[in-house]
Amino acid sequence: MGMTDSPVNGPAPKTTPRRFIAGAKCPACGLEDKIVLYTVGEQKFYECVKCGHKEVEAPVAASKPLAKADSAEQILSFQPAPKKR
């Protein structure tokens, strides 16, 4: 048995293939169309393939509504950049 498939830890969480998000702009390096989305278990990860910047989105089931004063957490929302004419 490998380290990820031990009786103590159980099977490794399922990882989805990386998918590019068309039109998304990296908040760190500013390049467009370099963001990939993938999930490990129930967590979503956004990663820039150019600079390596990574952000994690909390699972929906674990998230709870935040009060206005508890704004320490930030929900990420990557939106495509407007098309240039």
With a threshold of 0.85, does the pTM exceed it?
A: no
Rg (CA), the chain: 16
Residues 56, 61, 64: CA angle, nearest 5 degrees: 85
* DSSP summary character for residue 44: E
Helix-, strand-, coil-residue percentages of the chain, each rounded to 5: 5, 25, 70
Q: Specify the residue for token string 């830890």.
A: 9
pLDDT at position 84: 73
Domains in the chain: boundaries: 11-57
> Over its length of 85 residues, how does the chain's per-residue pLDDT go in tens digits?
455 555 567 788 888 999 999 999 999 999 999 999 999 888 899 999 999 999 998 655 555 555 555 555 666 777 777 777 6
Distance CA 46, CA 4 (A): 23
pLDDT at position 33: 93
